Chains A and B, each alone.
Chain A
Amino acid sequence: MSATDRIVNDFSIQVATVNGSGSQTANLVLLRSIFQMGVPVSGKNMFPSNIAGLPTWYTIRAHNEGYVARKKEVDFLVAMNPETGREDVLSLGPGTAVLYDEPLKLSALRSDLIFYPVPFDKIVAEVCKDAKLRRLVKNMIYDGVLSKLLNIDLAQMEHALKRQLGKKQKAIDLNMGALEAGFAYAEQHLPKRDPYWTEPMDKTTGMVLVEGNAAAALGCMMAGVTVVAWYPITPSSSLPETLIGYLKKYRRDPETGKATYAVVQAEDEIASIGMVIGAGWAGARAMTSTSGPGISLMSEFAGLAYYAEVPGVVFDIQRVGPSTGLPTRTAQGDLLSTAVLSHGDTKQIMLLPASVEECYAMSMDAFDLAERFQMLVFVMSDLDLGMNMWMSRTFQYPEKALDRGKRLTPELLARLGEWGRYKDVDGDGIAYRSVPGESMPAFFTRGSGHNEKAQYSERPDDYVKNMERLARKFETARQYVPKPIVQDGDGAEVGIIGFGSSHWAIEESRDQLAREFGIKTGYLRLRAYPFTEELASFLDRYERIYVVEQNRDAQMLTLMRIDITDDHHAKVRSVLHYSGLPIDARSVTDDILHQEGLKPSDAPHHEPLAAGVAGRGE
């Protein structure tokens, strides 16, 4: 293949392995070495709810212009899993390259693909004398082969490997042996026949690679969190677990070595939120992290916090469905239930991070807003954002002071003369609170049955008055939550609204629509609920507005319909993606084209690998 036919720094690699086989190290080394070459890259793990023995896919996408959303089309398949190899190969588009374990005999299945057979067992036996360790280093061989075939710098792979394994010299030596053996095998036996090629760039200089959950953990530490209560659940657990690591390292008193934080692994999610509410009530910055099933369990307490007006931060790393649904697959499926979580007229604040940088920054916003509004604040991340590796600019050190909200002080008490815990002194719906142990007047905290002075009351007028103040408080929140990011398209009729991890596919889809079909679009990325005034004016400016979300029932659009005018109702449409896999640009583009009448419907949600990826695991 001549250099002119090369497709440089624009390809996706799909690695199909069995989970528990040690492929994680090989995949991260592959991802990181491309990153170190300065090429924008993203990695997405599609794994089963299982510890070992079920199929796992890892997708790496390199893109010279920086597209990091999942690419639906696979350019290069690494087929290591005998169980899925056949299905994986049959689902590929023509011309795809396939690196496979030779005994699987996959080349017999198709004549329109480029096959690279590699005898993994034979190579690994030569470089690893200990038969027990072979399984663990075998995957490093495909890294070596790819290094040669895709021109990924072997020195960068070595660097990435050392980074991954730290000081374990024996493991480094073993893996390096496998890496070099793979490279050598490709050099001798596999003439290049596919067009994919890597060249060094300078587009990752100064950037970091991090998972959203780690970024959020860092944000929580920087927000000055003091109480963390949590219960393990995929895909949330890595947030508190990473946070524990940071806190242990950076949040001990320098003189005494004692902790300036408390972390409790609670008995369940109900206890987790109960502890958060108890701690928030007593004046601490408290948080928990969970996923959909945990959110449902927290429902009753969420209502109590709403009416009793207690601050707290809840991370929802959203995933598909309840219990044994698709717990290791991504979704934006908790929006509707979280927005009104609990019984009665409850409304909750939600923040919608789209990037790891926002996972970090919005963690700090969440604590400030929780204390300002004396409410729970829900940070709606998802599995794709939380558990996958994303490139990012380095995070900014917070310059803003902590907002500890309206607290009763002796000066204020002297000025007011009389204090009522639920009295709206400033007209913004937010009352002043006191906390135990600080010698300000005490009050008795209850749910909705109280008057302005926190005395027990079931009087209709007291109840109505309080409900109206709570509604006023929620209106005030519109002025404080992060505003949407708006990019108007010059003369565009089509507007797109999106949020969270869908952002990256939407950005790419807008380019596809403009480049391939001449369709200009405007784009509004929501960053919080309640919605702000920017939403209404965006709806005014466009003729047809597509709301992109990763759920079946258009949950965000449903929330929008509560707020928007009659004119707007007729203009809004949905682009929905709910296969459990991260949304991709082509699906968005095809769906919009179809709804614009520019493309016939040919199952816009078709996934080349959907049969294999989605069909297994519990």
Chain B
Amino acid sequence: MSTPTPEAPKKTNRIGLDLQPYRGGKTTLCAGCGHNAISERIIEAFFEMGVDPRQVVKLSGIGCSSKSPAYFLGASHGFNSVHGRMPSVGTGAMLANRKLIAIGVSGDGDTGAIGIGQFVHLMRRNLPIVYIIEDNGCYGLTKGQFSPTADVGSKAKNGIANELPPIDTCRLAIELGASFVARSFSGDKKQLLSILKASLAHKGTCMIDVLSPCVTFNDHEGSTKSYAYAKDHDEVMGEVSFVPYFEDISVEYEPGSTTAVSMHDGSKLYLKKVAADYNPTDKITALRLLHETARRGEFATGILYLEPDKEDFISMLGLVDEPLASLPVERVRPGKAVLDEVMESLR
């Protein structure tokens, strides 16, 4: 009888959990779909940041992207809601329980078309939520129709070219009031992970547009959301490094070439300056960058805009510290004297 090989001790995070509760169900998306890579990064980011999955709510609308919350954080509650309306469901959940950590996954159609109204007001409210657009420029689940983020001239699989200008969700989010706006590429593991980790340290709306080519309907020549196009036209705005507040700040960052931004919770975000003088806390700079890169047919990636101390929607409402959902009856039903007082005023 051979001696069993001792199992390697499971890697655990700072709250003592292994990777299992952060994993989700088996994906049903196409093999090679960029969305699966994003799910992987979400799992890593939540694990590495030691976020308690029981406090997390995963929200989505409808579409390929919106199916993906079933494929990560299996120990968290999830709500696959209706097309384009995930922001309102997320808002309601956060109003009910301000202690929750919300991650919403949407697509370019779910956000840019049917959901543009709710997207606008979510950004405007700066609700604490990580809002990810898995952006492939097409409707995958209904077989490849154009979405509002498809570029002019971009060709669908049937050869028809898109003639309408795209909506730049990052520009829109910055204009509307989101306090953390980033763009990345599903294939850029390191950058996407850093952005996701930084978003978990931020309190306010984190709008992350992730270019995620559709391998079935939008990964061919003529598509500006293909792997080949994205790799060639991705202008990385600086290497993003994120150090959570609970980690020792190491010395690998040279002050001369990096910008350090203090996050709301005390974490530090380091941006290695590839582009000269890029200041992510300046709205005008961020918008100029997005317009200039778009004109050249490029995608600027990285953390494009950050306003670490902007008041979020839940704080603005002046709520009690405890979740509203769990307040006992004594705190939500006024006494008889109140009813008597109101009745007296109506006599």
A-to-B contact residues, CB < 8 Å = 207-210, 214, 218, 221-227, 229, 246, 250-251, 253, 256, 258-262, 264, 266-268, 270-286, 300-301, 304, 308, 394-395, 397-398, 401-402, 434-439, 442-447, 456
Interface string of B285-319 (1 = CB under 8 A from A): 00000000000000000000000000000000111
Q: How many A-B residue pairs have CB under 8 A?
A: 209
Which residues on A sit within 8 Å (CB–CB) of B329? 224, 401-402
**Which candidate, B78-86, B133-141, B231-239, is the interface stretch facing chain A?**
B78-86
Q: Determine which of A261, A270, A277 lies in contact with B324 in the assembled complex, contact meaning CB atoms within 8 Å.
A: A261
Which residues on A sit within 8 Å (CB–CB) of B93? 278-279, 281-282, 436
**B346 in contact (CB, < 8 A):** yes
Q: Which residue of chain A lies nearest to B57 when distances are taken between CB atoms in the complex?
A: A436
A264 touches B95 (CB 8 A): yes
B117 touches A301 (CB 8 A): no
A284 touches B324 (CB 8 A): yes
Which residues on B sit within 8 Å (CB–CB) of A439? 54
Given A260-B324, A262-B319, A274-B88, does the pair A279, B96 have CB atoms closer than 8 Å? yes
25 A-B residue pairs with Cβ-Cβ distance under 8 Å, sorted by A, are: A214-B346, A218-B342, A224-B327, A227-B324, A250-B338, A256-B321, A258-B320, A259-B320, A260-B327, A267-B121, A274-B81, A277-B81, A277-B92, A278-B59, A278-B91, A282-B93, A282-B96, A283-B323, A286-B96, A304-B82, A442-B74, A442-B77, A444-B77, A445-B77, A456-B70
Given A274-B85, A278-B79, A445-B77, does the pair A227, B92 have CB atoms closer than 8 Å? yes
Report the Cα distance A437→B323, complex, angstroms: 9
B346 touches A282 (CB 8 A): no
Report the Cα distance A284→B94, complex, angstroms: 10
Which residues on A sit within 8 Å (CB–CB) of B258? none
Report the Cα distance A360→B228, complex, angstroms: 63
A283 touches B97 (CB 8 A): yes
A226 touches B332 (CB 8 A): yes
Q: Determine which of B85, B88, B332 lies in contact with A251 in the assembled complex, contact meaning CB atoms within 8 Å.
A: B332
> Measured between C-beta atoms, what is the minimum distance from B69 to chain A in Å?
7
Which residues on A sit within 8 Å (CB–CB) of B325? 226, 279, 282-284, 435, 437
Which residues on A sit within 8 Å (CB–CB) of B76? 436, 442
A221 touches B121 (CB 8 A): no
> Measured between C-beta atoms, what is the minimum distance from A407 to chain B in Å?
11
Report the Cα distance A359→B336, complex, angstroms: 18
Report the Cα distance A436→B97, complex, angstroms: 9
> Measured between C-beta atoms, what is the minimum distance from B254 to chain A in Å?
42
B89 touches A267 (CB 8 A): no
Given A278-B90, A279-B93, A281-B79, does the pair A437, B100 have CB atoms closer than 8 Å? yes
A259 touches B57 (CB 8 A): no
B321 touches A258 (CB 8 A): yes
Interface string of B156-192 (1 = CB under 8 A from A): 0000000000000000000000000000000000000
Given A253-B331, A284-B96, A301-B85, does the pair A437, B55 have CB atoms closer than 8 Å? yes
B92 touches A270 (CB 8 A): no
A304 touches B70 (CB 8 A): no
A304 touches B81 (CB 8 A): yes
Report the Cα distance A304→B100, complex, angstroms: 22
Which residues on B sit within 8 Å (CB–CB) of A279? 92-93, 95-96, 325
Q: Which residue of chain B lies nearest to A364 when distances are taken between CB atoms in the complex?
A: B333
A209 touches B324 (CB 8 A): no
Which residues on A sit within 8 Å (CB–CB) of B58? 444
Q: Which residue of chain A lies nearest to B321 when distances are taken between CB atoms in the complex?
A: A258
Q: Which residue of chain B lies nearest to A274 when distances are taken between CB atoms in the complex?
A: B88
> Measured between C-beta atoms, what is the minimum distance from B126 to chain A in Å?
13
B92 touches A397 (CB 8 A): no
> Measured between C-beta atoms, what is the minimum distance from A593 to chain B in Å?
38
> Measured between C-beta atoms, what is the minimum distance from A219 to chain B in Å?
10
Report the Cα distance A274→B323, complex, angstroms: 19
Report the Cα distance A352→B53, complex, angstroms: 42
B342 touches A271 (CB 8 A): no
Q: Which residue of chain A lies nearest to B73 when distances are taken between CB atoms in the complex?
A: A442
Report the Cα distance A476→B69, complex, angstroms: 34
Interface string of B60-78 (1 = CB under 8 A from A): 0000000001100011111
> Measured between C-beta atoms, what is the minimum distance from B325 to chain A in Å?
3
Most chain A CB neighbours (cut-off 10 Å) among B53, B321, B331, B339: B339
Given A208-B347, A258-B321, A445-B79, does the pair A226, B327 have CB atoms closer than 8 Å? yes
A275 touches B89 (CB 8 A): yes
Report the Cα distance A282→B54, complex, angstroms: 12
**B326 in contact (CB, < 8 A):** yes
**B118 in contact (CB, < 8 A):** yes
Which residues on A sit within 8 Å (CB–CB) of B74? 442
**B99 in contact (CB, < 8 A):** yes
Given A224-B332, A224-B333, A251-B332, does the pair A283, B326 have CB atoms closer than 8 Å? yes
Q: Determine which of A246, A281, A308, A438 lies in contact with B92 in the assembled complex, contact meaning CB atoms within 8 Å.
A: A281
Q: Which residue of chain A lies nearest to B346 when distances are taken between CB atoms in the complex?
A: A208
> Measured between C-beta atoms, what is the minimum distance from A370 to chain B in Å?
14
B85 touches A271 (CB 8 A): yes
B92 touches A229 (CB 8 A): yes
Interface string of B40-60 (1 = CB under 8 A from A): 000000000000011111110
Report the Cα distance A447→B85, complex, angstroms: 14
Which residues on B sit within 8 Å (CB–CB) of A397? 336, 339
Report the Cα distance A282→B85, complex, angstroms: 16
Q: Which residue of chain B lies nearest to A283 when distances are taken between CB atoms in the complex?
A: B325
**B343 in contact (CB, < 8 A):** yes
> Measured between C-beta atoms, what is the minimum distance from B297 to chain A in Å?
34
B324 touches A301 (CB 8 A): no
Interface string of B108-149 (1 = CB under 8 A from A): 000000000110110000000000000000000000000000
Which residues on B sit within 8 Å (CB–CB) of A229? 88, 91-92, 95
Q: Which residue of chain B lies nearest to A310 when distances are taken between CB atoms in the complex?
A: B79
Report the Cα distance A508→B79, complex, angstroms: 51
**B6 in contact (CB, < 8 A):** no
